[in-house]
Amino acid sequence: MTTVELTKDNFDEVVNEDSFVLIDFWASWCGPCKQFAPVYDKAAEDHPDLVFGKVDTEAQTELAAAFGISSIPTLAIVRENVLVFAQPGALPAPVLEDLIQQAKSLDMNEVRSKIAAESGNS
């Protein structure tokens, strides 16, 4: 599968329709973003069951602000409408693959329980 360009107009639709979305926040002038792009695209080919989205932080400033993006590239993973991972930095292919496997193996009921417990304690 190829990557999907995410914009403020289609973001909610994509994230709500798909239970597992990886998001690459990037910009055309960013050297590390350019280095990470082929790694990300290869992972998209290797995982056709997942949605790989890209957010151009220059064109989609509202989305970048909503995620608090201050450094690019930043990779985020949303599973079942829950942000389960967000970290800046270009990842090597084996690290990205390991991260995808970890995110796939999450027990989302447990994740939601933890979120509920944490929000109840604050």
**Active site members:** 30, 33
d(CA 14, CA 55): 12
Q: Is the dihedral of CA 61, 63, 65, 67 positive or negative?
A: negative
Closest CA to 34 of 19, 17, 6, 56: 56
